[in-house]
């Protein structure tokens, strides 16, 4: 009899975390292979941020109505548009779990010993890589518009880190919604309802300082504000953090961990 059901001793306490990391990366790896094999999606996703920067940003910039301190409005807006385009990808990411349920892929993944949290985080990381592709496009656009960017390695690595963190957080949120609503039609409805409020109650296209108090209160509990704050600090010259980079990071990371744990619990609901 060959080693029946043998799983190596890697499941011993200290090594469980290695299993978790391996499973998470295995799932992210698969998503990336698919993405690079068929990158058309990434190009079509570039259209929306281009419109925001070339049309909305240019027009609003002429008004000089929004106080953005030592930087032009367009400069102020670039990190906001980056955060927004990352959000728009991530917030619809949850539909993939419904899609995979309908294809039988999810059932098969749930039948493996991989921890549910690794299934969730693997998806979240692949949303992060999609977000990075947006970052690349927006850097190119910003260069074309002569936006004063920071090019130090540390700044760019920081931007990449906050893109991945924000994408992972909002895509996990989206997965948790998918686990509750469980059909594509309902999910699309809910997705539409979520994106605009998240966007408008953040500091993406106007600063906290000009918000009425009630909106400022909402912006301060909206994780998108922390992502925008970090991106603005790291990406453009003259960017100054309102919350502090440490707080931005902590809020986003804690939010992600919390949502991964919740979603891992909800995950099996989708197939029932």
Partner 1 sequence: MDQNAEVALPAVETLGLTRRFGSLWAVSELSLEIAAGSIFGLLGPNGAGKTTTIKMLTTMLAPSAGTARVAGFDVVRHPVEVRRSMGYVSQMVSADGALTGYENLLLFARLYAIPRRLRRQRILDALEFMGLSESASQLVRNYSGGMIRRLEIAESMMHRPAVLFLDEPTVGLDPVARHAVWGHLRGLREQFGTTILMTTHDMEEADELCETLAIMNLGRVVAIGSPASLKAEVGSQANLDDVFIHYAGGSIEQGGNYRDIARTRRTASRLG
Among 13, 14, 17, 37, binds partner 1 (CB under 8 A): 37
Closest approach, Cβ 174 to partner 1, in A, equals 21
146 in Cβ contact with 54 (< 8 Å): no
Among 62, 64, 108, 146, binds partner 1 (CB under 8 A): 108
At residue 236, the 3 state secondary structure works out as strand
Among 113, 154, 212, 213, binds partner 1 (CB under 8 A): 113
Among 39, 67, 69, 104, binds partner 1 (CB under 8 A): 104
Task: Compute the half-sphere exposure of residue 97: CA atoms within 13 Å on the CB side of its CA.
Answer: 37
Q: What is the DSSP code string of 48-98?
A: HHHHIIIIIIHHHHHHT-S--TTS-HHHHHHHHHHHHHHHHHHHTTTHHHH
Q: Count Cβ neighbours within 10 Å for each residue of 227-236 and write b for 16 or more, e otherwise.
A: bbbbbbbbbb
Q: Count Cβ neighbours within 10 Å for each residue of 159-174 and write b for 16 or more, e otherwise.
A: bbebbbbbbbbbbbbb
Among 74, 97, 109, 175, binds partner 1 (CB under 8 A): 109
Q: Establish if 146 lies at the interface with partner 1 (CB under 8 A).
A: no
Interaction pattern, residues 11-30, with partner 1; x per rule: CB under 8 A: x-------x--xx--xx-xx
Among 6, 17, 63, 153, binds partner 1 (CB under 8 A): 6
- Burial status of residue 108 (CB atoms within 10 A of its CB: 0-12, 13-18, 19 or more): exposed
Interaction pattern, residues 59-98, with partner 1; x per rule: CB under 8 A: ----------------------------------------
Alpha-carbon torsion angle 255, 247, 241, 197, nearest 10: 20
Stretch that binds partner 1, among 75-83, 99-107, 142-150, 213-221 (CB under 8 A): 99-107
Q: How far is CA 102 from the centre of its chain?
A: 24
Stretch that binds partner 1, among 31-39, 91-99, 203-211, 238-246 (CB under 8 A): 31-39
- Interface positions with partner 1 (CB under 8 A): 1-8, 10-11, 19, 22-23, 26-27, 29-30, 33-34, 37-38, 102-105, 107-114, 268, 271-272
């Amino acid at each position: 009899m060959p080693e029946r059901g043998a799983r190596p001793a890697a499941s011993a306490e200290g090594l469980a975390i290695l299993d978790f990391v391996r499973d998470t990366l295995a799932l992210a790896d698969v998503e990336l292979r698919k993405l690079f094999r068929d990158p058309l999606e990434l190009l079509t996703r570039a259209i929306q941020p281009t419109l925001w920067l070339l049309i909305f940003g240019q027009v609003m910039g002429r008004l000089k109505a929004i106080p953005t301190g030592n930087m032009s409005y367009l400069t102020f807006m670039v990190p906001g548009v980056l955060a927004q385009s990352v959000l728009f990808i991530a917030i619809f990411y949850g539909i993939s779990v419904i899609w995979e349920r309908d294809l039988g892929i999810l059932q098969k993944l749930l039948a493996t010993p991989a921890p549910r949290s690794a299934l969730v985080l693997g998806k979240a990381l692949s949303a992060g890589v999609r977000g990075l592709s947006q970052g690349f496009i927006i850097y190119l656009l910003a260069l074309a518009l002569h936006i004063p960017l920071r090019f130090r390695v540390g700044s760019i690595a920081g931007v990449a880190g906050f893109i991945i963190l924000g994408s992972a957080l909002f895509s996990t949120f989206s997965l948790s919604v998918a686990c509750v609503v469980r059909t594509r039609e309902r999910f699309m409805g809910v997705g539409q309802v979520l994106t605009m409020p998240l966007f408008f109650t953040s500091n993406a296209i106007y600063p906290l300082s000009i918000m009425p108090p009630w909106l400022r209160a909402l912006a301060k509990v909206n994780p998108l504000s922390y992502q925008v704050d970090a991106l603005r600090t790291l990406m453009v010259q003259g960017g100054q953090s309102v919350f502090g980079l440490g707080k931005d990071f902590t809020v986003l990371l804690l939010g992600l961990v919390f949502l991964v744990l919740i979603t891992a619990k909800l995950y099996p609901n989708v197939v029932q």
